[in-house]
Amino acid sequence: MEQFTKTQLKDLRVLTDFVRTYCNARHATTERHSCELPSQLARHYRADLKLCPECAGLLAHGISKRRTCPLEPKPACKECRIHCYGKEYRAKIREVMAFSGRRLLLRGRLDYLWHYFF
Ligand SMILES: [Zn+2]
Protein backbone atom coordinates (compact mmCIF):
# COMPACT_ATOMS: atom_id res chain seq x y z
CA MET A 1 0.00 0.00 0.00
CA GLU A 2 1.56 3.19 -1.09
CA GLN A 3 1.43 6.30 1.03
CA PHE A 4 1.69 9.81 -0.20
CA THR A 5 2.09 12.71 2.17
CA LYS A 6 -0.58 15.40 2.11
CA THR A 7 1.72 17.74 0.24
CA GLN A 8 2.56 15.14 -2.36
CA LEU A 9 -1.10 14.36 -2.82
CA LYS A 10 -1.98 18.02 -3.27
CA ASP A 11 0.73 18.42 -5.88
CA LEU A 12 -0.42 15.28 -7.66
CA ARG A 13 -3.99 16.51 -7.82
CA VAL A 14 -2.84 19.73 -9.43
CA LEU A 15 -0.64 17.79 -11.81
CA THR A 16 -3.50 15.49 -12.75
CA ASP A 17 -5.92 18.39 -13.23
CA PHE A 18 -3.46 20.19 -15.44
CA VAL A 19 -2.80 17.18 -17.62
CA ARG A 20 -6.50 16.42 -17.83
CA THR A 21 -7.37 20.00 -18.80
CA TYR A 22 -4.73 19.95 -21.49
CA CYS A 23 -5.70 16.57 -22.88
CA ASN A 24 -9.42 17.38 -22.90
CA ALA A 25 -8.78 20.51 -24.91
CA ARG A 26 -5.98 19.39 -27.19
CA HIS A 27 -6.57 15.72 -27.73
CA ALA A 28 -10.34 15.50 -27.75
CA THR A 29 -10.27 13.68 -31.06
CA THR A 30 -7.58 11.21 -30.02
CA GLU A 31 -8.64 7.87 -28.66
CA ARG A 32 -8.44 8.11 -24.91
CA HIS A 33 -8.54 5.47 -22.23
CA SER A 34 -9.20 5.33 -18.53
CA CYS A 35 -6.06 5.89 -16.50
CA GLU A 36 -4.80 3.85 -13.62
CA LEU A 37 -4.06 6.15 -10.73
CA PRO A 38 -2.52 5.40 -7.35
CA SER A 39 -5.49 4.64 -5.10
CA GLN A 40 -5.03 7.65 -2.84
CA LEU A 41 -5.26 9.86 -5.88
CA ALA A 42 -7.95 7.90 -7.68
CA ARG A 43 -10.51 8.52 -4.98
CA HIS A 44 -10.49 12.22 -5.84
CA TYR A 45 -11.63 11.44 -9.34
CA ARG A 46 -15.05 9.93 -9.12
CA ALA A 47 -15.51 10.10 -12.85
CA ASP A 48 -13.06 8.16 -14.89
CA LEU A 49 -9.94 9.98 -15.81
CA LYS A 50 -9.52 9.54 -19.55
CA LEU A 51 -6.30 10.50 -21.22
CA CYS A 52 -4.64 9.83 -24.53
CA PRO A 53 -1.59 7.53 -24.38
CA GLU A 54 0.84 10.43 -24.64
CA CYS A 55 -0.70 12.38 -21.75
CA ALA A 56 -1.11 9.20 -19.70
CA GLY A 57 2.62 8.60 -20.11
CA LEU A 58 3.40 12.13 -19.07
CA LEU A 59 1.20 11.89 -15.99
CA ALA A 60 2.72 8.56 -14.97
CA HIS A 61 6.18 10.08 -15.32
CA GLY A 62 5.13 13.10 -13.23
CA ILE A 63 3.62 10.91 -10.52
CA SER A 64 6.70 8.75 -10.22
CA LYS A 65 8.95 11.81 -10.12
CA ARG A 66 6.87 13.47 -7.44
CA ARG A 67 6.92 10.27 -5.43
CA THR A 68 10.69 10.18 -5.44
CA CYS A 69 11.44 13.91 -5.12
CA PRO A 70 14.14 14.07 -2.40
CA LEU A 71 13.67 17.76 -1.65
CA GLU A 72 11.44 18.75 1.25
CA PRO A 73 9.90 21.21 0.88
CA LYS A 74 9.88 20.76 -2.85
CA PRO A 75 10.85 23.95 -4.66
CA ALA A 76 8.99 25.10 -7.76
CA CYS A 77 10.32 22.89 -10.51
CA LYS A 78 11.60 25.79 -12.54
CA GLU A 79 13.76 26.82 -9.61
CA CYS A 80 14.99 23.35 -8.87
CA ARG A 81 18.63 22.39 -9.34
CA ILE A 82 17.88 18.78 -10.12
CA HIS A 83 15.43 18.91 -13.03
CA CYS A 84 14.43 15.31 -12.67
CA TYR A 85 12.10 15.12 -15.66
CA GLY A 86 13.43 13.54 -18.80
CA LYS A 87 14.11 16.06 -21.52
CA GLU A 88 11.07 15.30 -23.64
CA TYR A 89 8.77 15.09 -20.65
CA ARG A 90 10.10 18.38 -19.40
CA ALA A 91 9.29 20.17 -22.64
CA LYS A 92 5.88 18.55 -22.63
CA ILE A 93 5.00 19.38 -19.05
CA ARG A 94 5.96 23.01 -19.60
CA GLU A 95 3.59 23.17 -22.52
CA VAL A 96 0.85 21.56 -20.42
CA MET A 97 1.43 23.93 -17.51
CA ALA A 98 1.37 27.01 -19.73
CA PHE A 99 -1.75 25.92 -21.56
CA SER A 100 -3.76 24.64 -18.61
CA GLY A 101 -2.51 27.35 -16.26
CA ARG A 102 -3.90 30.02 -18.52
CA ARG A 103 -7.13 28.15 -19.02
CA LEU A 104 -7.71 27.43 -15.34
CA LEU A 105 -7.00 31.06 -14.48
CA LEU A 106 -9.54 32.21 -17.02
CA ARG A 107 -12.02 29.96 -15.32
CA GLY A 108 -11.33 31.69 -12.05
CA ARG A 109 -9.32 28.90 -10.52
CA LEU A 110 -7.15 31.38 -8.69
CA ASP A 111 -6.38 28.81 -6.07
CA TYR A 112 -4.07 27.25 -8.60
CA LEU A 113 -1.85 30.31 -8.56
CA TRP A 114 -0.55 29.15 -5.23
CA HIS A 115 0.36 25.81 -6.59
CA TYR A 116 1.75 26.81 -9.93
CA PHE A 117 4.73 24.72 -9.23
CA PHE A 118 6.18 23.64 -12.52
ZN1 LIG B 1 -3.57 13.92 -24.45
CA–centroid distance, residue 15 to ligand 1 (Å): 14
What is the DSSP code string of 61-105?
HHHHHHHH---SSPPPGGG-SS--S-HHHHHHHHHHHHHHHHHHH
Distance 7 CA to ligand 1 centre (A): 26
Q: Tell me, in angstroms, the distance from the centre of ligand 1 to residue 26's CA.
A: 7
Instruction: Report the mean per-residue pLDDT for the chain.
Output: 86
More confident position, 26 or 101 = 26
Task: Indicate if the pLDDT at residue 58 is higher than 70.
Answer: yes
Distance 72 CA to ligand 1 centre (A): 30
What mean pLDDT do residues 87-116 have? 81
CA 81 to centroid of ligand 1, rounded, Å: 28
Residue 65's pLDDT is 93
pLDDT of amino acid 16: 94
pLDDT single digits (tens) 2-36: 689 988 998 899 899 999 999 999 999 999 999 88
Residue type at 4? Answer: F
pLDDT of residue 105: 80
69 CA to centre of ligand 1 in angstroms: 24
Report pLDDT for 23: 97
What is the pLDDT, as a whole number, of residue 73?
A: 82
Ligand 1 mean position, distance from CA 71 (Å): 29
CA–centroid distance, 54 to ligand 1, in Å, is 6
Q: What is the pLDDT of residues 79-100, one digit of tens each?
A: 788 888 989 999 999 999 889 9
- The per-residue b/e assignment along 20-36, b for 16 or more CB within 10 angstroms, e otherwise, is bbbbbebbeeeebeebe
